[in-house]
Structure 1
Amino acid sequence: MSQQPDGGRSRGADRAAQPDGRNPVNPGMWVVSTVMQTLVAIVGLVVVLFALGQAIGTDLLGMTAQALSTQTGQWLVIAVVAFIGMGAAMRAMRFTRA
Protein backbone atom coordinates (compact mmCIF):
# COMPACT_ATOMS: atom_id res chain seq x y z
CA MET A 1 0.00 0.00 0.00
CA SER A 2 1.38 3.42 -0.89
CA GLN A 3 2.02 6.07 1.73
CA GLN A 4 -0.02 9.26 1.45
CA PRO A 5 2.10 12.44 1.41
CA ASP A 6 0.09 13.99 4.23
CA GLY A 7 0.89 11.20 6.70
CA GLY A 8 -2.20 9.10 6.05
CA ARG A 9 -4.72 11.77 6.92
CA SER A 10 -7.48 12.68 4.54
CA ARG A 11 -8.49 16.27 3.92
CA GLY A 12 -11.64 15.84 5.97
CA ALA A 13 -9.64 14.58 8.95
CA ASP A 14 -7.94 17.97 9.32
CA ARG A 15 -11.15 19.44 10.68
CA ALA A 16 -12.06 18.59 14.23
CA ALA A 17 -15.68 17.58 14.66
CA GLN A 18 -17.78 19.35 17.28
CA PRO A 19 -19.43 17.25 19.99
CA ASP A 20 -22.73 17.20 18.11
CA GLY A 21 -21.03 15.82 14.98
CA ARG A 22 -20.90 19.04 12.97
CA ASN A 23 -17.71 20.48 11.58
CA PRO A 24 -16.66 23.98 12.64
CA VAL A 25 -17.31 26.59 9.96
CA ASN A 26 -15.33 29.67 9.11
CA PRO A 27 -18.09 32.25 8.47
CA GLY A 28 -15.81 34.30 6.26
CA MET A 29 -15.27 31.32 3.98
CA TRP A 30 -18.87 31.05 2.81
CA VAL A 31 -19.32 34.84 2.65
CA VAL A 32 -16.32 35.22 0.36
CA SER A 33 -17.36 32.20 -1.68
CA THR A 34 -20.90 33.52 -2.16
CA VAL A 35 -19.73 37.03 -3.04
CA MET A 36 -17.18 35.73 -5.53
CA GLN A 37 -19.68 33.42 -7.22
CA THR A 38 -22.21 36.27 -7.45
CA LEU A 39 -19.63 38.63 -8.94
CA VAL A 40 -18.50 36.02 -11.46
CA ALA A 41 -22.12 35.43 -12.49
CA ILE A 42 -22.78 39.17 -12.92
CA VAL A 43 -19.58 39.74 -14.91
CA GLY A 44 -20.40 36.68 -17.02
CA LEU A 45 -23.88 38.04 -17.75
CA VAL A 46 -22.44 41.41 -18.79
CA VAL A 47 -19.89 39.74 -21.06
CA VAL A 48 -22.58 37.55 -22.66
CA LEU A 49 -24.84 40.57 -23.24
CA PHE A 50 -21.95 42.50 -24.77
CA ALA A 51 -20.90 39.58 -26.98
CA LEU A 52 -24.44 38.93 -28.19
CA GLY A 53 -24.91 42.64 -28.84
CA GLN A 54 -21.75 42.71 -30.92
CA ALA A 55 -22.79 39.57 -32.79
CA ILE A 56 -26.22 40.86 -33.78
CA GLY A 57 -25.22 44.51 -34.14
CA THR A 58 -27.30 46.06 -31.38
CA ASP A 59 -26.61 47.57 -27.95
CA LEU A 60 -27.99 44.94 -25.59
CA LEU A 61 -26.19 46.43 -22.58
CA GLY A 62 -27.75 49.84 -23.26
CA MET A 63 -31.20 48.34 -23.69
CA THR A 64 -30.76 46.38 -20.46
CA ALA A 65 -29.67 49.53 -18.61
CA GLN A 66 -32.69 51.42 -19.95
CA ALA A 67 -35.02 48.59 -18.92
CA LEU A 68 -33.53 48.49 -15.41
CA SER A 69 -33.86 52.26 -15.02
CA THR A 70 -37.66 52.04 -15.15
CA GLN A 71 -39.70 51.56 -11.99
CA THR A 72 -40.47 47.96 -12.90
CA GLY A 73 -36.79 47.34 -13.61
CA GLN A 74 -35.85 48.74 -10.22
CA TRP A 75 -38.28 46.33 -8.54
CA LEU A 76 -36.74 43.50 -10.55
CA VAL A 77 -33.29 44.51 -9.30
CA ILE A 78 -34.61 44.48 -5.72
CA ALA A 79 -36.08 41.01 -6.30
CA VAL A 80 -32.77 39.72 -7.69
CA VAL A 81 -30.86 41.15 -4.72
CA ALA A 82 -33.33 39.45 -2.37
CA PHE A 83 -32.91 36.21 -4.31
CA ILE A 84 -29.12 36.45 -3.96
CA GLY A 85 -29.56 37.08 -0.23
CA MET A 86 -31.73 33.99 0.11
CA GLY A 87 -29.14 31.99 -1.81
CA ALA A 88 -26.42 33.21 0.56
CA ALA A 89 -28.56 32.22 3.55
CA MET A 90 -29.13 28.77 2.06
CA ARG A 91 -25.38 28.38 1.51
CA ALA A 92 -24.79 29.37 5.14
CA MET A 93 -27.25 26.73 6.29
CA ARG A 94 -25.54 24.11 4.13
CA PHE A 95 -22.10 25.02 5.53
CA THR A 96 -23.29 24.93 9.14
CA ARG A 97 -25.00 21.56 8.73
CA ALA A 98 -22.16 19.93 6.83
Structure 2
Amino acid sequence: MNIDQIEAQMRARALNFTGLGALVKFDFGSGDAVFINGRSTPPAVSRTGDAPDTTLTISPENLLKLAEGKLAPTLAFMTGKLKVSGNMGVAMKLANMLED
Protein backbone atom coordinates (compact mmCIF):
# COMPACT_ATOMS: atom_id res chain seq x y z
CA MET A 1 0.00 0.00 0.00
CA ASN A 2 1.48 3.35 -0.98
CA ILE A 3 0.91 6.80 0.52
CA ASP A 4 -1.74 7.72 -2.09
CA GLN A 5 -3.75 4.60 -1.25
CA ILE A 6 -3.41 5.24 2.48
CA GLU A 7 -4.63 8.81 2.10
CA ALA A 8 -7.57 7.66 -0.03
CA GLN A 9 -8.52 4.98 2.53
CA MET A 10 -8.38 7.50 5.37
CA ARG A 11 -10.51 9.96 3.41
CA ALA A 12 -13.06 7.19 2.82
CA ARG A 13 -13.11 6.50 6.57
CA ALA A 14 -13.01 10.17 7.64
CA LEU A 15 -16.37 10.03 9.39
CA ASN A 16 -14.97 7.27 11.63
CA PHE A 17 -12.72 9.94 13.15
CA THR A 18 -15.60 12.25 14.18
CA GLY A 19 -15.26 13.13 17.83
CA LEU A 20 -11.51 12.57 17.90
CA GLY A 21 -10.96 16.21 18.88
CA ALA A 22 -7.25 16.16 18.05
CA LEU A 23 -4.73 16.46 15.24
CA VAL A 24 -2.99 13.16 14.53
CA LYS A 25 0.01 12.50 12.32
CA PHE A 26 0.67 9.07 10.84
CA ASP A 27 4.40 9.00 10.11
CA PHE A 28 5.39 6.31 7.62
CA GLY A 29 9.07 7.26 7.42
CA SER A 30 10.95 8.60 4.41
CA GLY A 31 9.07 11.89 4.77
CA ASP A 32 5.68 10.27 4.07
CA ALA A 33 2.89 11.25 6.45
CA VAL A 34 -0.87 11.64 6.60
CA PHE A 35 -2.61 13.99 9.02
CA ILE A 36 -6.13 13.60 10.38
CA ASN A 37 -7.65 16.78 11.76
CA GLY A 38 -10.22 15.40 14.15
CA ARG A 39 -10.99 18.92 15.39
CA SER A 40 -12.91 19.73 12.21
CA THR A 41 -16.30 18.39 11.14
CA PRO A 42 -16.08 16.31 9.10
CA PRO A 43 -12.50 15.36 9.96
CA ALA A 44 -10.02 16.48 7.32
CA VAL A 45 -7.31 14.22 5.89
CA SER A 46 -4.20 15.70 4.28
CA ARG A 47 -0.48 15.19 3.78
CA THR A 48 0.50 18.30 5.74
CA GLY A 49 -0.66 19.81 8.99
CA ASP A 50 0.15 21.82 12.07
CA ALA A 51 1.95 20.38 15.08
CA PRO A 52 0.03 17.21 15.97
CA ASP A 53 -1.32 16.26 19.39
CA THR A 54 -0.22 12.69 18.71
CA THR A 55 2.18 11.13 16.23
CA LEU A 56 1.90 7.48 15.29
CA THR A 57 4.95 6.00 13.58
CA ILE A 58 4.07 2.82 11.70
CA SER A 59 4.81 1.13 8.39
CA PRO A 60 2.09 1.21 5.72
CA GLU A 61 1.91 -2.59 5.87
CA ASN A 62 1.30 -2.63 9.62
CA LEU A 63 -1.29 0.14 9.35
CA LEU A 64 -3.17 -2.01 6.84
CA LYS A 65 -3.00 -4.97 9.24
CA LEU A 66 -4.37 -2.77 12.05
CA ALA A 67 -7.23 -1.52 9.89
CA GLU A 68 -8.11 -5.07 8.80
CA GLY A 69 -8.04 -6.36 12.37
CA LYS A 70 -5.07 -8.64 11.66
CA LEU A 71 -2.82 -6.80 14.13
CA ALA A 72 -4.01 -5.71 17.57
CA PRO A 73 -3.05 -2.12 18.47
CA THR A 74 -1.67 -3.18 21.86
CA LEU A 75 0.47 -5.91 20.31
CA ALA A 76 1.72 -3.51 17.63
CA PHE A 77 2.74 -1.04 20.34
CA MET A 78 4.34 -3.64 22.61
CA THR A 79 6.38 -5.15 19.75
CA GLY A 80 7.58 -1.78 18.44
CA LYS A 81 5.59 -1.97 15.20
CA LEU A 82 3.70 1.12 16.36
CA LYS A 83 5.38 4.00 18.15
CA VAL A 84 3.36 6.74 19.81
CA SER A 85 4.52 10.18 20.81
CA GLY A 86 2.34 12.86 22.31
CA ASN A 87 -1.09 12.29 23.81
CA MET A 88 -1.49 8.56 24.50
CA GLY A 89 -5.22 8.99 25.20
CA VAL A 90 -5.75 10.20 21.63
CA ALA A 91 -3.82 7.19 20.33
CA MET A 92 -6.04 4.81 22.32
CA LYS A 93 -9.20 6.50 21.07
CA LEU A 94 -7.89 6.37 17.51
CA ALA A 95 -7.13 2.64 17.79
CA ASN A 96 -10.82 1.96 18.43
CA MET A 97 -11.82 4.15 15.49
CA LEU A 98 -9.45 2.38 13.10
CA GLU A 99 -10.92 -1.01 13.93
CA ASP A 100 -14.48 -0.01 12.99
Under a length normalisation based on structure 1, what TM-score does the superposition of the two structures give?
0.21
More strand by percentage: 2
- More helix per residue: 1
Q: Which has the larger radius of gyration?
A: 1
TM-score calculated relative to the size of structure 2 = 0.21
